[in-house]
A = this chain, B = another copy of it.
Amino acid sequence: MIKLEPGSVIGILGGGQLGRMLAMAAAQLGYHTHIYCPDEKNPAEQVTNRLSRSSYTDEVALIRFAKVVDVVTYEFENIPVETVELLNQHVPTFPSAQVLQVSQDRLHEKNFLNKIGVETAPYAAVMTEGEAVEALKIITYPAVLKTRRFGYDGKGQAIVKSPEELSAAWAMLNSSDIIIEGFIPFDMEISVLAARGQDGEIKCFDPAENIHKNHILDLSIAPARIAPHLRAQAVGIACHIVAELEYVGVLAVEFFVSSSDPVFRVNEIAPRVHNSGHWSIEACPTSQFEQHIRAICGLPLGDTSLYGRAEMKNLIGDDILDVALYLKDPDANFHHYGKTHARPGRKMGHVTRILPTVGTNKKSI
């Protein structure tokens, strides 16, 4: 176990808003951060004075980076496993390359989850349209075709409702690494942010209820509006997953919740801090970002209890132009990610509100 003192340098692969908020949480605890990101003018580099602007496959730059940081983490899962493996030869890197390998490929991920007894949608890996036809005889329609790797925010996905739609979907995805998933009817999507320390300590945040618009997260509400015993069940599964992965850091688990299905099915996991946990910045003593930093630095995990009911709204594209509105709202905690161009579908910021709720809490006043 490594235990990093304040003043140590945390290397972060990726320069998006997650890296940015990780860097700010690290700074509060007295750590320096070093952003490694190939992109010009990325949001994270604005909040640190250490930057490597290099490709994730540039071995020379990676080793140079590894030599000037004390630990490495990453803010997104689509970096090459080889990158994390290389870095880990020189400096402790969390989460591990093995975890990345599992979560980067929808087939590996589902195989792992089912192996440890966590339910998912029925699925099959296929490489040709012919294999897809065969697989769909068992999975049945409707189903979802997904590329096994590099999908996000609904990209690399196609719903097929009948055999007639298969050819078009297959052509659209244009890949020979496809997973077919049975369509799970659900009433709600929830997520649990689970953290595990290097010493095996596990703490989860309350499950959040997630509402999407155009396949992009629009709203997260914590706690999710489901019965307490169901919330406990989701938290239990998330704990089980991080324990089995021997995970270090914060991991997100997305679930489908259906009133007609007594089984909790995991949609996907993400080996990183997650958009559906941004409310934790204001709503909890320890945010998901601080928790991740604590975990990778060998610090004890922090308290994750909720001060109140929290609602996080994403500001997508032009939503960010309403900044004046949010700044005038006394209940709105406004976050701007420092991105210049408000392209459609781009996550530009978010707003969190803490709302009164029934019940009591030790922090209530």
Binding site for B on A (CB under 8 A): 6-7, 20, 23-24, 27-32, 45-49, 51, 285, 294, 299-300, 302-303, 305, 307-309, 320, 323-324, 327-328, 330-331, 333-338, 340, 349, 354, 356-357, 359-365
Given A47-B48, A328-B300, residue A30 in contact with residue B338 (CB < 8 A)? yes
A299 touches B327 (CB 8 A): yes
Residues of chain B lying within 8 A (CB to CB) of residue A7: 338, 340
Given A300-B328, A356-B365, A365-B364, residue A46 in contact with residue B29 (CB < 8 A)? no
A327 touches B30 (CB 8 A): no
A336 touches B28 (CB 8 A): yes
Complex: how many Å from CA A307 to CA B6?
29
Residues of chain B lying within 8 A (CB to CB) of residue A340: 7
> Taking the full assembly, how many copies of this chain does it contain?
2
A97 nearest CB across to chain B (Å): 28
B337 touches A30 (CB 8 A): yes
A68 nearest CB across to chain B (Å): 14
A32 touches B6 (CB 8 A): no
Residues of chain B lying within 8 A (CB to CB) of residue A307: 307, 365
Given A6-B323, A340-B7, A365-B308, residue A333 in contact with residue B24 (CB < 8 A)? no
Picked from B28, B309, B336, B357, the residue with its CB within 8 Å of the CB of A335 is: B28
Q: In the complex, which of the residues A27, A308, A338, A340 has the most CB atoms of chain B within 10 Å of its own CB atom?
A: A27
A27 touches B49 (CB 8 A): no
A236 nearest CB across to chain B (Å): 21
Complex: how many Å from CA A338 to CA B364?
31
A32 nearest CB across to chain B (Å): 6
Residues of chain B lying within 8 A (CB to CB) of residue A327: 294, 299-300, 302
A334 touches B29 (CB 8 A): yes
Residues of chain B lying within 8 A (CB to CB) of residue A28: 24, 334-336
Known: A7-B340, A300-B328. 5 other contacts (CB 8 A): A6-B323, A30-B337, A32-B46, A302-B327, A309-B365
A152 nearest CB across to chain B (Å): 23
Residues of chain B lying within 8 A (CB to CB) of residue A320: 6
B349 touches A360 (CB 8 A): no
The 6 closest A-B pairs by CB, nearest first: A30-B336, A303-B330, A308-B365, A6-B336, A364-B365, A357-B365
